[in-house]
């Protein structure tokens, strides 16, 4: 019994020795195998440069050899464990994809980082890059397609009904009805369809034969009281026409003049050409006055005024004369003339022997004073402006 126990103990010791030998032999085999990479761990780099030739395991082998000799491993040589991990990550065919060897083998890699997939193809030539750039530019530099006038808001000019509505001819719907009724013409042509575009600064627009002031012009009629000077500013501080339009941003000027003691209608505008033509003798715009004089009047007074009265600066003729009212010796006469000389009505009647006590201008061309109160300023209608323009061929 004792011999069997001793034998079993020896057998156990022998088994332990065998296991220790096999364990030591296994470690030695692992170290040997680490020096010889497996087939799936081998690298097949083509065109490698520098000191990276051979298989991925050679560096690890050399590093361990240095360690056994007592020296430090080379800084550039990867460890065997890292080589195996890299091989496992990189795949069997291409070997490890990281490390200094991978960077050196692919000099075209961006930023020196790892690249996936197969190697890059050959670089493109400069001529090919230039052609690609030209093709891209031609794609983005195509000419813009012009859309029909019925589409988009960037068309030239404005719609006719919108221009008429802004000029005060009515609402857009009312202006469209004017177009449908063939009452609107542009540059001499009657408009028969909706949506026509016009340029308010260049095109001549008429409604019922009267020009429409489509531009930013202002037209006012003032019933000037007696004692107001016919200037926009007065250096002596007297009341003038400018006092009635002080709140206007646009500069206005008066059309013609009236004596300080003469009352009645006077026009104010910022339309220079219209103002010039209204006062030019060539166009002969007529003005009508009511004059209060003392009688009795001879029957041929009207004939004398129409034939002409000799004044200091030449003959002055009236276009029309009539007696409006007669109360005893008080007469109210109406005189119409197209001249615009200074104090012409007062001088003509005074030269005929009938001094004027009060003088009121009741109309300027086709614009009547009407029942407008003294000192009141009103904006003229588009119809009145059109009549004025027709009077002077505008």
Q: How far apart are CA 263 and CA 362, in angstroms?
A: 9
Q: How far apart are CA 338 and CA 286, in angstroms?
A: 4
Catalytic residue status for 18: no
Whether residue 375 contacts residue 223, with contact meaning beta carbons closer than 8 Å, is answered with yes
Whether residue 225 contacts residue 265, with contact meaning beta carbons closer than 8 Å, is answered with no
Alpha carbon dihedral 30, 31, 36, 40, in 10-degree steps, equals 40
Q: How many CA atoms lie within 13 A of 187 on its CB side?
A: 9
CB atoms within 10 A of CB 370: 11
Alpha carbon dihedral 166, 275, 360, 363, in 10-degree steps, equals -60
How far is CA 296 from each of CA 237, 300, 321, 330, 332, rounded to the nearest angstrom?
A: 41, 12, 16, 8, 12
How big is the CA angle at 242 (ends 347 and 248), to the nearest 5 degrees?
140
Q: How far apart are CA 312 and CA 257, in angstroms?
A: 20
SS3 50: coil
Q: How far apart are CA 275 and CA 266, in angstroms?
A: 11
Q: What is the maximum span of the chain, computed from C-alpha positions, in angstroms?
A: 185
Q: How far apart are the first and last CA of the chain?
A: 148
Active-site annotation holder among 28, 234, 259, 300: 259
Pairing type for strands 197-198 and 189-190 reads unpaired
How big is the CA angle at 392 (ends 390 and 394), to the nearest 5 degrees?
60
Among 130, 148, 127, smallest CA distance to 138 is for 130
Whether residue 207 contacts residue 217, with contact meaning beta carbons closer than 8 Å, is answered with no
Backbone angles phi, psi at 205, to 5 degrees: -115, 130
Residues designated catalytic: 259
């Amino acid at each position: 019994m004792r011999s069997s126990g001793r034998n079993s103990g020896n057998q156990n010791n022998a088994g332990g020795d065998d296991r220790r030998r096999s364990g030591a032999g296994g470690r030695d085999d692992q170290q040997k195998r680490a020096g010889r990479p497996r087939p799936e761990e081998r690298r097949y780099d083509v065109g490698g440069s520098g000191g990276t030739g051979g298989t991925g395991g050679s560096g690890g082998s050399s590093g361990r050899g240095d360690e056994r000799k007592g020296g430090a491993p080379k800084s550039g040589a990867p460890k065997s464990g890292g080589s195996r991990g890299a091989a496992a990550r990189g795949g069997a065919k291409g070997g490890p994809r990281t490390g200094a060897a991978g960077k050196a083998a692919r000099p075209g890699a961006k930023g020196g980082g790892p690249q996936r997939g197969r190697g890059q193809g050959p670089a493109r030539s400069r001529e090919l890059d230039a052609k690609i750039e030209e093709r891209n530019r031609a794609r983005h530099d195509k000419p813009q397609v012009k859309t029909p006038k019925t589409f988009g808001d960037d068309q030239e000019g404005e719609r006719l009904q919108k221009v008429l509505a802004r000029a005060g001819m009515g609402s857009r719907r009312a202006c469209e009805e004017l177009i449908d009724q063939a009452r609107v013409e542009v540059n001499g042509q009657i408009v028969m369809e909706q949506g026509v575009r016009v340029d308010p600064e260049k095109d001549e627009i008429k409604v019922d034969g009267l020009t429409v002031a489509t531009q930013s012009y202002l037209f006012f009629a003032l019933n000037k009281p007696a004692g107001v000077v016919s200037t926009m500013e007065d250096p002596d501080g007297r009341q003038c026409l400018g006092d009635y339009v002080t709140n206007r941003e646009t500069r206005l000027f008066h059309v013609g003049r009236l004596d300080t003691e003469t009352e009645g209608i006077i026009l104010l505008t910022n339309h220079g050409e219209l103002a010039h033509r209204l006062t030019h003798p060539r166009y002969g715009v007529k003005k009508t006055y009511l004059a209060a004089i003392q009688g009795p009047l001879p029957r041929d007074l009207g004939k004398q005024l129409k034939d002409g009265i000799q004044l200091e600066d030449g003959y002055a003729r009236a276009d029309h004369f009539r007696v409006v009212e007669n109360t005893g010796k008080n007469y109210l006469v109406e005189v119409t003339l197209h001249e615009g000389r200074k104090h012409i009505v007062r001088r003509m009647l005074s030269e005929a022997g009938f001094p004027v006590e009060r003088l009121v201008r009741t109309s300027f061309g086709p614009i009547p004073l009407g029942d407008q109160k003294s000192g009141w300023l009103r904006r003229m209608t588009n119809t009145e402006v059109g009549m004025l323009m027709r009077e002077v061929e505008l």
